[in-house]
Amino acid sequence: MLKYIKFLSDYLRFKASVSKGEKRFPLTWKDRYPCLHDRTQSTEFDAHYLYHPAWAARILAQEKPELHIDISSSILFCSVVSAFVPIKFYDYRPANIALSDLSCDAADLLALPFPDGSIGSLSCMHVVEHVGLGRYGDPLDPEGDIKAIAELTRVLASGASLLFVVPIGKARIQFNAHRIYSYSQIISYFKGLQLKEFSLVMDGNGGFIRNATKEMADQQLYGCGCFWFTK
């Protein structure tokens, strides 16, 4: 209530200044658009969704693949990174985006439309934890995440990179939003691959740690684990 009173006071003072000479824009009460929660001491952000795309973008800028395939990660990530690495983006619900060096198509993570060992650079970030929980209209399947991981491993070429991100901490399911994995679970699910790097977004806005440890991951309640695997 106090914030709305402040908004009303600001509106009336601004309107008074407009009546004294600022005529560039019409100002009417029906066009008001209160933004009551933006007057903060600092800029807020979702740590999971800021740090993990930034981590992946830096790796791709370093590795410079000729083509990168992404499965259902952040479309903002794919849109920005396509400025310096050509990207093909696939999603269960395809995105209608028109940008140079970015193509978008439909794919089912449980049956990827690629031959075995054919993808040289691959990412699937903050995605697998949802598979099989029905959140996005996909069929219910308690083993959906395991099947998705098997598909990612299947299509990855020898010597290729996989950027894989999931919530990390105390293992549990928060139906029908997502699963949260332990560090050891993820390592066991990708036992055929080599871990090149593990980085971690800490609980809350606790920050980002490049080259984190299992012990750090095990201390999280809802962290974000960033795994760089190679095959």
CATH code for the domain defined by 47-230: 3.40.50.150
Show the beta-strand stretches assigned E in 87-139.
87-91, 102-106, 119-125
Contact between 48 and 125 (Cβ < 8 Å)? no
Residues of the chain with CATH 3.40.50.150: 47-230
Contacts 24+ apart (CB under 8 A), 86-89: none
pTM of the model: 0.91
pLDDT of residue 204: 82
pLDDT of residue 141: 97
Task: For residue 22, name the pLDDT band (cuts at 50, 70, 90).
Answer: low
Task: Please give the average per-residue pLDDT across 187-206, as a whole number.
Answer: 94
pLDDT digits (tens, 9 = 90+) for 79-123: 999 999 999 999 998 999 999 999 999 999 999 999 999 999 999
Q: Which amino acid makes up residue 167? A: P
Collapsing DSSP to helix, strand or coil, 156 comes out as: strand
Contact between 183 and 168 (Cβ < 8 Å)? yes
* CA distance linking residue 139 with residue 128, whole number of Å: 14
Collapsing DSSP to helix, strand or coil, 224 comes out as: strand
Residue 186 has what DSSP assignment?
H
* CA distance linking residue 122 with residue 90, whole number of Å: 11
Tokens for 228, please give them.
């760089």
pLDDT digits (tens, 9 = 90+) for 142-157: 999 999 999 999 999 9
Nearest to 116 by CA among 158, 162, 165: 158
Tokens for 207, please give them.
């920050």
Q: Give residue for tokens 């903002």.
A: 76
Is the pLDDT assigned to residue 205 strictly greater than 80? Answer: no
* CA distance linking residue 75 with residue 83, whole number of Å: 13
Task: Please give the average per-residue pLDDT across 179-194, as a whole number.
Answer: 97
Pinpoint the alpha helices (H) of 131-177: 144-155
Is the pLDDT assigned to residue 19 strictly greater than 80? Answer: no
Task: For residue 206, name the pLDDT band (cuts at 50, 70, 90).
Answer: confident
* CA distance linking residue 5 with residue 18, whole number of Å: 20
